[in-house]
């Protein structure tokens, strides 16, 4: 086209009028109205550029043109009308108009013998539908948690808990301890501290493995990128970009890489909001807590486990709205453009490698942080301040727990054991279950242990247990994730703001759930 214009100019010896992309008629009508607002001092061939920039609310152009109050009012009205017509925000509308123009040009210069929709297009018409996308997503997540927590994953967990760590490992260790006449306190450390704590955590590995097999399949077939596309529609209405969903999705595995993935967000305000909210998503470390509460207090309700996922999403959306209203984090959300891959069958090796890596990471944490934490918990729950071995109710840990338990009484779990479990969860969320196992002196325990269920049901109601679950889902993450937040924020001030905001939101959410539940 440029060459043709050049030849015409040579023949006619005059400047040809520039040729612009022609968009949808309704968009062109709005664009023409914006052009009418521009000053005559702007050359005609530049007016279209300035008009599009005004629709994009480009601050540099707004400052340069210095529109009067009436023009700004008219521009705002034009934008509102276009957003109502297209049912989308202006930045997304412009992006879509450009891609539609590109598609028209592509059709002119390419030949496609098959004009029908391919399989991916037909599937996307359903799973990305404006009204059906979210119900489909909810159903997919329900099925994922149903398979991992209530059926397939539970079969593996039962074997690990009942056979491996219920009979084989404790029996083998007890036999060797008796053979070498090990002191009683050391036997208690090994059996009640290390084996009981780490064994309870490792019992969840089959459920975690099945969960990430399911998530790996969804990722490999191309569905998760569609979820990001769908969530962008929602996030934009609350001031966030769809780019924020990617770190949040990664956080379902672990909060550390999820926080680090926020680096892909160019807008500094959006990046900080994402860092502060990404860990609201239930990670693999929170799965044992979800499973315990769901099994002990809601055994016949299949929606409790997936509800943890939706609580995290709700916290992210509401937090995004609130934080976007602040002076430090306000502003326009950055654009989100991504290419949706075609659907294809998952590759078994890729899915299994993904699930295996996640499970191995979980096991490594159980063998390091949780191992040390369990020893500390065992010691402080077995000795008093005079370093004399006592019952758990008279221990160092009990006295510390009682000092803070009043803070959690309005949330429904003012029991000192729950207080200690919530505090140790700051080291690693997996230790919450291990802490209960040690404090209740149950030795090896599982989320399906009737004895543990009975003890928990004596101390908590179903409402207070769900309040406890919500608090642990939303409060400040483990120390490793806090370290990642500090690295990404770059300063201690914003790190403490993030921790304070997360813990405060967790406390307020649990308070509202418990107090409203009592009404």
154-194 per-position pLDDT tens digit:
787 777 766 776 667 666 766 766 666 556 666 666 666 56
* C-alpha–C-alpha distance, residues 505 and 400, integer Å: 24
pLDDT band at 6 (very low <50, low <70, confident <90, very high): low
Q: What is the mean pLDDT of residues 365-373?
A: 65
Q: Can you tell me the distance from the alpha carbon of 104 to that of 21, in angstroms, rounded to the nearest whole number?
A: 10
Q: How far is residue 23 from each of residues 30, 98, 101, 103, measured CA to CA in Å?
A: 11, 7, 6, 11
The per-residue pLDDT for 103 is: 81
Residues 151 and 160: their CA atoms lie apart, in Å, by 15
Average pLDDT over every residue of 445-469: 80
What whole-number distance in Å separates Cα of residue 252 and Cα of residue 473?
12
Q: What backbone torsions phi and psi does residue 8 show, to the nearest 5 degrees? A: -65, -40
Q: State both tokens at 377.
A: 């918990």
Percent of the residues in the chain that have a pLDDT greater than 90, as a whole number: 10
In this structure, what token pair is assigned to residue 2?
């440029």
Q: What is the pTM of this model?
A: 0.63
* 299-321 confidence digits (pLDDT tens): 888 888 888 888 988 898 888 88
Rounded distance between C-alpha atoms, residue 323 and residue 44, angstroms: 41
- Token couple for 208: 């975690």
Q: 396 near 385, Cβ under 8 Å?
A: yes
Residue 285, both tokens: 């470390």
Which uninterrupted H or E stretch holds 211? helix 205-221
Contact 323, 276 (CB under 8 A): yes
Token code pair at residue 353: 């490698």
Mean pLDDT of the chain: 80
**Rounded Cα gap, residues 508 and 333, in angstroms:** 27
**Structure-model confidence comparison of residues 281 and 13, the more confident one:** 281
Q: Which of 40, 45, 47 is nearest to 16 (CA)?
A: 45
Contact present, 90 and 79 (Cβ < 8 Å): yes
> Rounded distance, CA 211 to CA 207, Å?
6
Question: CB under 8 Å to 214, separation ≥6 — which residues?
Answer: 143, 144, 147, 148
Distances (CA, A) of 358 to 205, 464, 501: 10, 31, 28
Q: What is the DSSP letter of 335?
A: P
Q: What percent of the chain has pLDDT over 70?
A: 81
User: How does residue 117 score in pLDDT terms, banded at 50, 70 and 90?
Assistant: low
Q: Is the CB of residue 204 less than 8 Å from the CB of residue 287?
A: yes
- What one-character-per-residue DSSP string does 427-440 give? T-TTHHHHHHHHHT
pLDDT at 411: 92
Report the distance separating Cα 109 and Cα 89, nearest Å. 31
Q: What is the pLDDT of residue 116?
A: 47
**Where is 130: in which H helix or E strand?**
none
- What sign does the dihedral 45-51-56-60 (CA atoms) show? positive
SS3 for 448-494 is: CCHHHHHHHHHHCCHHHHHHHHHHHHHCCCCHHHHHHHHHHHCCHHH
> How much is the average pLDDT of 414-443?
78
What does the alpha-carbon distance between residue 430 and residue 200 come to, in Å, rounded to a whole number? 9
pLDDT, one tens digit per residue, over 22-68 is 888 888 898 899 888 888 788 888 888 888 888 888 888 888 888 88
- Kindly report the number of other CB atoms within 10 A of residue 248's CB atom: 25
């Amino acid at each position: 086209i440029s060459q043709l214009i050049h030849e015409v100019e040579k023949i006619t010896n005059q400047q040809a009028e520039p040729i612009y992309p022609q968009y949808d008629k309704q968009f062109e009508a709005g664009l023409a109205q914006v052009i009418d607002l521009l000053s005559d001092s702007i050359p005609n061939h530049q007016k279209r550029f300035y008009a599009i920039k005004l629709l994009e609310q480009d601050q540099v152009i707004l400052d340069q043109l210095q529109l009067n109050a009436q023009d700004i009012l008219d521009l705002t009205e034009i934008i509102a009308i276009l957003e109502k017509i297209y049912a989308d925000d202006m930045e997304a509308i412009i992006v879509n108009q450009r891609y539609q123009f590109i598609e028209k040009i592509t059709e002119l210069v390419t030949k496609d013998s098959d004009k029908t929709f391919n399989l991916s297009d037909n599937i996307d018409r359903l799973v990305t539908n404006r009204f059906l996308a979210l119900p489909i997503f909810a159903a997919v997540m329900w099925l994922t948690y149903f398979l991992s927590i209530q059926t397939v994953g539970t079969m593996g967990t039962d074997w690990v808990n009942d056979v491996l760590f219920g009979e084989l490992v404790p029996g083998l260790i007890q036999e060797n301890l008796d053979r070498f006449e090990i002191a009683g306190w050391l036997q208690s450390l090994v059996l009640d501290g290390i084996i009981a704590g780490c064994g309870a955590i490792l019992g969840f590995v089959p459920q975690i493995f099945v969960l990430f097999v399911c998530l790996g399949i969804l990722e490999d077939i191309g569905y998760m990128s569609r979820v990001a596309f769908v969530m962008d529609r929602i996030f934009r209405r609350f001031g966030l970009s769809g780019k924020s969903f990617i770190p949040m999705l990664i956080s379902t595995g672990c909060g550390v890489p999820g926080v680090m993935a926020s680096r892909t967000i160019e807008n500094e305000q959006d990046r900080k909001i994402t860092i502060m909210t990404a860990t609201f998503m239930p990670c693999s470390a929170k799965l044992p807590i979800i499973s315990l509460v769901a099994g002990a207090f809601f055994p016949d309700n299949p929606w409790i486990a997936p509800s943890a996922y939706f609580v995290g999403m709700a916290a992210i959306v509401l937090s995004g709205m609130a934080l976007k209203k602040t002076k430090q984090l306000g502003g326009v959300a950055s654009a989100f453009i991504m290419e949706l891959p075609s659907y294809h069958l998952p590759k078994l090796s890729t899915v299994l490698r993904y699930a295996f890596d996640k499970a191995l990471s979980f096991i490594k944490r159980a063998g390091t942080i949780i191992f040390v934490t369990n020893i500390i918990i065992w010691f402080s729950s077995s000795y008093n301040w005079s370093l004399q071995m006592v019952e758990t109710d008279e221990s160092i840990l009990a006295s510390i727990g009682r000092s803070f338990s009043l803070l959690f009484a309005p949330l429904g779990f003012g029991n000192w054991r729950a207080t200690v479990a919530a505090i140790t969860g700051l080291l690693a969320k997996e230790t919450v279950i291990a802490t209960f196992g040690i404090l209740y002196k149950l030795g090896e325990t599982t989320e399906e242990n009737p004895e543990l269920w009975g003890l928990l049901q004596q101390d908590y109601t179903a409402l207070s247990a769900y309040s406890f679950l919500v608090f642990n889902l939303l409060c400040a993450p483990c120390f490793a994730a806090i370290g990642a937040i500090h690295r990404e924020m770059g300063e201690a001030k914003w790190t403490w703001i993030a921790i304070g905001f997360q813990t405060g939101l967790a406390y307020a959410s649990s308070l509202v759930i418990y107090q409203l539940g009592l009404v």
